[in-house]
Structure 1
Amino acid sequence: MKPKAWSWLVFLLGFAYFALPLIGTLEFSLRKRRGEYSLDAYVWVFEDTQFRETFGYSVVMALLTIVFGMLLVVPTAYWVRLRYPRLRPVVEFITLLPLVIPPIVIVFGYIRLYNTSSFLPMTGTTFGTNLLLMFGYVTLSLPYMYRAVDTGLRTIDVRTLTEAAQSLGAGWVTIIGRIILPNVLIAVMSGAFVTFAIVIGEFVLAALLNRPAFGPYMQLIGANRAYEPAALAVIAFTITWFCIGLMQVASRMTPQSRAKRS
């Protein structure tokens, strides 16, 4: 068999692996009315105020997590690559820890350290609990965001760009914000896609911190209804990929991206 045929075979197998479960979920979500297909399950979901509130809350938390993660990871990865390359294995090990530490351990640590009887009672206020949740999301997305940014930094000559900017009188904030970040923006957006997906579907942190997020809402509907969870899964998939598509379009509208394509 020719290499091109093998490529198409692998593509079709991968497409079937991901598409068939979604098609089956879509077909099941249309069977709420016995004997015929209908959109009753979708109507119920869109009329539920909790759906709009929880999904909107998770989208806002996802955007805040992406911004905070970008502000944390980009300067860190840049500084390690420029000044402290020997610390790179240590930083990579630290960023891998969220993959081996379960989220339930992280959230119990938050509750233990920041409960109302501690020196910093963040769980006693809505703002403080939301802040803890965002920090938890940043922690969970750290392995993906850091590696995406680090890969982007490998494609550019960080030292030469820094020295050229310093010779023109640019400070560190200007160098990172106007030179480094635009050049790794595509890599940042790659990490942002994964971060967005993690936040939308995350359950443990939001449930134990008692936040009105989309993950606990999906679990609640799944435990009490039959067809609506399937409709909810299809809607969430569609909206999530639509938001990711908007982020991708926004990243390609930057001057640097247009210059590379031209």
Structure 2
Amino acid sequence: MKTVLRLLLWAAMVLAGIYFLLPLISTAEFSLSIRRDEYSLDAYHSVFSDPEFFATFGYSAAIATCTIIFGVVLVVPMAYFVRLRLPWLKPVVELIVMLPLVVPPIVLVFGYLRLFSSSSVLPLTSTEMGSNALLVCGYMTLSLPYFYRAVDTGLQAIDARTLTDAATILGASPITVIRLVILPNILVSVLSGAFLTFAVVISEFVMASLLTRPAFGTYIQKVGVAQAYEPAALVILSFAITWGAMGMIQLVARFSPQRREQ
């Protein structure tokens, strides 16, 4: 019986691997087929020689960095106080942070356009800085489920209450406790949430497009309209960036202090 279950498990894993890898392999093969009867990296060379590629990627990386910074400032104190001071509020907070998985991004961005258009009291969309701020807020909302779960998991792995009591006895304020005691102990979880946020931001298209921001996702769509092989190369590069972020999560987790102690 165990042998049959093991074979079924391996069969399911193989089928899942084929299901996910075949489209990626086909896309990679197409991106190398710009020359007839031979493979070449011309499509990738064309992408890397385009100044707009680096401009849009740099813009998305900067927006991702801002999103991560503001996400840490928002999520870490929220998860900390909910776990230690307001445990009765945890079901409500978990429901709220899961809403971005249910509400489509297009609904969120249309709400932003409705509330912050040029005809509103706070016309943020009329300036580039305001639109950038709205984009960061939107990405914070999209990444909130992943960031909050990562931080909450990190708080579960440490004795936050004992650490807080010890720091409070020594005269530390709540902000000091979070900054110098809690944050260093959950740094691996925070970094995991940061890499997930980076992966979400770098490939997002809907919000950046409707807010007319020069993001990497909109660049991929723009190239896809006019060219054939370069979009496939961009898709492979986007997958590589995403998987690189996932690999960094595993690397950080493997060399974390908690793992070394085990």
Please say if residues 220 and 231 of structure 2, whose CA atoms lie closer than 8 Å, have aligned partners that are also in contact.
yes
Counterpart of 2:86 in structure 1: which amino acid? Y
| Correspondence for 1:223 among 218, 222, 225 | 225
Displacement of 1:102 after TM fit?
A: 1.5
Aligned: 1:177 with 2:207 = no
1:35 aligns with 2:37: yes
121-130 vs 231-240, greater mean Cα deviation = 231-240
Is the aligned partner of 1:165 residue 2:167? yes
Supply the AA of the counterpart residue of 1:50. Answer: E
Separation in 2 of the partners of 1:122 and 1:259?
Answer: 44
Unpaired runs of at least 5, structure 2: none
> Percent identity among equivalent residues?
58
Checking the alignment, whether the CA contact within 8 Å between 2:253 and 2:259 is kept in structure 1 is no
Decide whether aligned partners of structure 1 residues 258 and 86 sit closer, same or farther in structure 2, where only a CA change above 3 A counts. Answer: closer
Query: Which residue in the other structure is 1:122 paired with?
Result: 124
2: distance between equivalents of 1:240 and 1:46?
18
Whether the 8 Å contact between 2:57 and 2:215 is mirrored in structure 1 is yes
What is the alpha-carbon distance in structure 1 between the residues aligned to residue 98 and residue 139 of structure 2? 14
> Is the CA contact (8 Å cut-off) linking 1:189 and 1:251 kept in structure 2?
no
Q: Deviations over 1:56-114 (max 9, x none)?
A: 11111112111111110110010011111111111111111112221111111111111
Task: Please say if 1:68 is aligned against 2:63.
Answer: no
Partner Cα distance (1:2, 1:110) in 2: 53
Query: How many angstroms does 1:223 deviate by?
Result: 2.3
Cα distance in 1, alignment partners of residues 206 and 54 from structure 2: 20
| Cα offset, 1:200, TM superposition | 1.1
Aligned AA (1:146): Y
Aligned partners of 1:180, 1:94: CA distance in 2, in Å?
A: 23
Q: TM-score, structure 1 length as denominator?
A: 0.90
Gaps of 5+ in 1: none
C-alpha RMSD of the superposition: 2.1
Aligned partner of 1:112 among 99, 111, 114: 114
Give the structure 2 partner of residue 26 of structure 1: 28
Q: Deviations over 1:2-43 (max 9, x none)?
A: 766666555444443333322221111111111211111111
- Does residue 86 (structure 1) correspond to residue 88 (structure 2)? The answer is yes
Alignment partner of 1:214 out of 204, 213, 216 = 216
Q: TM-score, normalised by structure 2?
A: 0.90
Residue 195 of structure 1 is matched in structure 2 by 197
Deviation, 1:244, is 5.3
For 2:150 and 2:252, locate their aligned partners in 1 and report how far apart those are by CA, in whole Å: 18
**Distance (Å, rounded) in 2 between the aligned partners of 1:185 and 1:5:** 39
**In the alignment, what sits opposite 2:97?**
95
Moved more, 9-18 or 206-215: 9-18
Determine if contact 2:199/2:245 at 8 Å carries over to the other structure: no
Between the aligned partners of 2:246 and 2:119, the Cα distance in structure 1 is 40
The residue type equivalent to 1:261 in the other structure is R
| Equivalent residue pairs, number | 259
Q: Is the 8 A contact 2:67 2:139 kept in 1?
A: yes
Q: Which 4+ stretches in 1 moved above 6 angstroms?
A: 250-253
